[in-house]
Each structure stands twice: as C-alpha cells, then as structure tokens.
Amino acid sequence: MILEALQYAATVSVTGTEFRSHVRSSVSLWSRANRCTKAWASHEDNCKAFVREAISGMKQKRTAVVLGSGLLRDVPIADLSRAFDTVVLVDLVHLATVRAWLAAKGLRNVRLISRDLSGFEEARAGRTPEPLAFLRQVPYLDLVVSANILSQIGVGCQRQLEREGHAAPGPILKTLAQAHLDGLRQQPCKTVLLTDIRYAVTDRSGTVIDDGDLLFGAKSPAAKKQWFWPVAPFGELNRDSQAIHEVIAV
C-alpha cells in the first residue's frame, strides 16, 4: 500500500494533467504484475522472444515505436535500444519507476510519449477513428510493436461508456479494435502485434464459468505464434477461479 502510494504520487508529479486520471490504473497494473510475476513469466518471455526474432533479420533499424509500452515487462527494451537509433515508447502513463529504471540503465535513445491510442473520441462522435495516423509523422520509422495494448483499449473504453450509461457499447468497441488492427496493417514498415484475443474464467475443476472475445468481434489476423497467459491465477480474482487469456503474436 505504501509503495503504491509512493508510485502514485511520484508518477502524478511527472504526468501531464490530461493523463493523470489514468495513473491509478497503471499503478494497479504494476501491483498486479508484481503479485503475478511467476504466472506471467512465460507470457512475457514469449513476447520478448517474438520481438527479438522479428528484429533479428531487419536491415534498417532507425526508429522503433512501442505502443502500450507500460511497465516494459513484455518488451525487450534493452535489445531495442541497442539495435535502433531511437526507440519511442507510447502509453497513457509512464510510471515513475519505469522512468527511473530507464535513466539508471542509461538508455539515452529512448523517448517517452503520453498519448491516448484508442481513437475513442472520433468513434464516439461517429467518425472513423485513425488512432495510429500520428505514426506518419515519425521520421525513419522501421518498426512498430503493439505490446499487449489492444484488448486494454477496449476494456478502458468499455468502462468509460458504461460510466456514461451507454446502452450498447459493442459496435464502438469493435470499431476501436478494428481501427488499431487496420492502423498496424497500413504501416509501411515492419510491425509486430502482441495481443490477448480471448479470455476464459475457470474453476478448480477446469469448468469454464465465463469466457469472451477481447476484440469485441473485430477479426484478428492469423497468428504466427499462440499461447495462454494466466492473467489472474487462482487467488487473484478469488480463491477458486482463474482467468486465462489466449494470446497471439503476429
């Protein structure tokens, strides 16, 4: 609790006003990730290995952008920093501990940008969202990694729509997921998509209590690799159920 309060206070002080309302959920993610270190390890290793493999054959390595860089747990940031001239990390919030870690490691070619990558405002206004259009302005872009952000865009926007009493958020959430997928597909450079696509909550006997589509009906591209991520192992949601997510790497 004390560490969370310190993390919160230190992060708020370095986060622009527009993004401060998101600090709490980043701190919660940080706490959960610390509690679930063992359960998440193989998912994080798989993600990092996939990115390392993707960049190993690249001839030009000028600028890399990581979307949803968050806690840098599933991103091989040291390898990216070594391989590329510039690495740009984009997220709503960059925690104080993440900033301190980057400084301590001396990764001087890493830049941090706070940005809402959802396209929510355009979609809500009935316009076609283009949440990744800003990438056109990034000079010498050779790699874009979408690092386990896609499902979280939907989760965040679903909460917002429910708070506003929106009766049927499904179509907007599907539009947002599709806009992210289309935006990645349209990049003229190499892209990596790491995302969970489905969840299942099971009890101790393995019976599925609840399951669902994390992309709200948007069609995910064919996976090159696929695995399961115990996002909430037994004891995290409650004693007798666990949530397992299916992850694809493209």
Ligand X SMILES: C[S@@+](CC[C@H](N)C(=O)[O-])C[C@H]1O[C@@H](n2cnc3c(N)ncnc32)[C@H](O)[C@@H]1O
Which residues form the interface with ligand X (CB under 6 A)? 26, 29, 68-75, 91-93, 116-118, 147-149, 152-153, 156
Where helices occur in 36-95 by DSSP H, the ranges are 37-56, 77-83
Quickly count: other Cβ atoms within 10 Å of residue 112's Cβ. Answer: 16
Q: Which residue minimizes CB distance to ligand X?
A: 70
Q: Which is nearer to ligand X, 34 or 60 (CB)?
A: 34
Q: Which is nearer to ligand X, 141 or 153 (CB)?
A: 153
Shortest Cβ distance from residue 97 to ligand X (Å)?
12
Residue pair 97/106 in contact by the 8 Å Cβ criterion: no
Shortest Cβ distance from residue 234 to ligand X (Å)?
20
Shortest Cβ distance from residue 230 to ligand X (Å)?
14
Residue type, 5: A
Tokens of 97: 């501990």
Q: Which is nearer to ligand X, 111 or 204 (CB)?
A: 111
Quickly count: other Cβ atoms within 10 Å of residue 106's Cβ. Answer: 9
Shortest Cβ distance from residue 137 to ligand X (Å)?
17
Element (H, E) at 63: strand 63-67
Residue pair 85/140 in contact by the 8 Å Cβ criterion: yes
Q: Which is nearer to ligand X, 26 or 86 (CB)?
A: 26
